């Protein structure tokens, strides 16, 4: 045990983190069995032991920013991590029969939680903070950016793949006079989206994207591609191409990673987003070959940090009102999830891309909007 403690201490020094130190990002250990469990099961054990109260950090986001910037995850290879990588490489974890699992286990856990955490449009994706000062402003700026990037016009028929609680559909219908068809794999999302879009030319369906077979002037997909999986990237692009008119535009908004030889963090996969698989930019572009011309790529991954911190502040600030639905273990789990992700984006370990795709290219060239 002493050897594991010293090894951990030496490892963390490279990230400027101390065990039982006094700074907000220093690790406070409450159970010395942490080290043995961590070296046996890696990041899965790190998250599990945090939820169980074996350790604490005053500022989890700062802790993870330092750990990820120092590349410590590459120096701890566990059997569990290798199995996770093999899983995503060898198996299709996002088949039609499995595609609804993330809806049941993540998006259906309670609309009230997301109402408390998100903005008034209930956008569960990165905001656009170029000039924004608040989460509300950042999310509306993102929705406006999306509409402008695809040159929305009154009368357009728009497909929203992964429509969530109807935030984009509501905004686009209200501000641009378009008709929107939204699809989601979450029944809870769909039910609330129907209510929120009542009276607007918006239809919401619980459906897998592979089953859509209609024609649209525009397609948007905001924060859904993360659930598609590398075995299905080309299938997704085929489905989108089938549904988009020859003169149409597709905006793809997705979290991405820097290296293809990595898998989703095992703790995130097990407890937060089952079967998720973040794409690399190369994987996206390969899936577009012979299907779309890539007109624009925009990386604003640094804006996910303030988005996640705002979500955490909202979650923390409304926690007392959520106690009837969730226990203290859930509080620690959700805190860990939000602040781990904030640290990852701050360290630029994760990215956020918006791509504008066209079946045949834009005549005369695409005019970038930002």
| Residues taking part in catalysis | 341
Residue 242 belongs to what H/E stretch? helix 233-243
- Give the burial class of 166: count Cβ atoms within 10 A of its Cβ; 0-12 exposed, 13-18 middle, 19 or more buried: buried
Q: Do 215 and 266 meet the contact criterion of CB atoms below 8 Å apart?
A: no
Q: What is the DSSP letter of 225?
A: G
Q: What is the DSSP letter of 280?
A: P
Q: Do 42 and 266 meet the contact criterion of CB atoms below 8 Å apart?
A: yes
Gyration radius of the chain over CA positions: 21
> What residues contact 122, with CB distance under 8 A and at least 6 apart?
114, 115, 164, 165, 166, 167, 192, 196
Beta-strand pair 157-161/216-222: parallel
Beta-strand pair 244-257/350-358: antiparallel
- Among all chains, which residue has been given the structure tokens 């639905």? 325
Residue 249 belongs to what H/E stretch? strand 244-257
How big is the CA angle at 336 (ends 230 and 96), to the nearest 5 degrees?
Answer: 30
Helix (H, G, I), strand (E, B) or coil at 311: helix
Tokens matching residue 361: 């290219």
Q: Look at residues 107, 221, 250, 226 and name the one whose alpha carbon lies nearest to residue 163.
A: 221
> What residues contact 234, with CB distance under 8 A and at least 6 apart?
286, 287
Tokens matching residue 230: 């590398």
């Amino acid at each position: 045990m002493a050897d594991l403690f010293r090894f951990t201490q030496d490892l963390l020094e490279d990230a400027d983190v101390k065990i039982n130190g006094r700074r907000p990002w220093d690790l406070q250990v409450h159970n010395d069995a942490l080290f043995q469990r961590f070296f046996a099961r890696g990041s899965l054990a790190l998250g599990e032991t945090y939820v169980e109260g074996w350790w604490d950090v005053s500022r989890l986001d700062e802790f993870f920013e330092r750990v990820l910037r120092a590349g410590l995850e590459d120096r701890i290879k566990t059997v569990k991590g290798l199995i996770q990588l093999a899983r995503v490489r060898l198996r299709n974890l996002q088949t039609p029969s499995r595609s609804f699992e993330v809806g049941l286990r993540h998006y259906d856990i309670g609309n009230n939680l997301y109402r408390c955490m998100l903005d008034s449009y209930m956008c569960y994706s990165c905001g656009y903070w170029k000039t924004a000062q608040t989460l509300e402003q950042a999310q509306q700026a993102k929705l406006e950016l999306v509409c402008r990037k695809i040159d929305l016009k009154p009368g357009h028929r728009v497909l929203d793949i992964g429509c969530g609680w109807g935030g984009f559909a509501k905004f686009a219908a209200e501000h641009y006079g378009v008709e929107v068809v939204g699809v989601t794999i979450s029944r809870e999302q769909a039910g609330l989206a129907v209510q929120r879009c009542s009276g607007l030319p918006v239809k919401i369906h619980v459906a897998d994207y592979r089953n859509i077979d209609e024609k649209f002037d525009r397609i948007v997909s905001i924060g859904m591609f993360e659930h598609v999986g590398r075995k299905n990237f080309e299938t997704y692009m085929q489905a989108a191409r089938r549904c988009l008119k020859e003169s149409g535009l597709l905006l793809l908004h997705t979290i991405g990673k820097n290296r293809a030889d990595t898998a989703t963090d095992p703790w995130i996969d097990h407890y937060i987003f089952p079967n998720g698989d973040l794409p690399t930019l190369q994987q996206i572009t390969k899936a577009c070959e012979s299907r779309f011309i890539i007109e624009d790529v925009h990386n604003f991954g640094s804006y996910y940090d303030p988005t996640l911190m705002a979500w955490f502040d909202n979650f923390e600030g409304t926690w007392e009102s959520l106690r009837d639905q969730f226990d203290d273990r859930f509080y620690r789990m959700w805190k860990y999830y939000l602040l781990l992700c904030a640290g990852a984006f701050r360290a630029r370990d994760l990215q956020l891309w918006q791509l504008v795709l066209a079946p045949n290219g834009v005549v005369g060239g695409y005019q970038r909007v930002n």
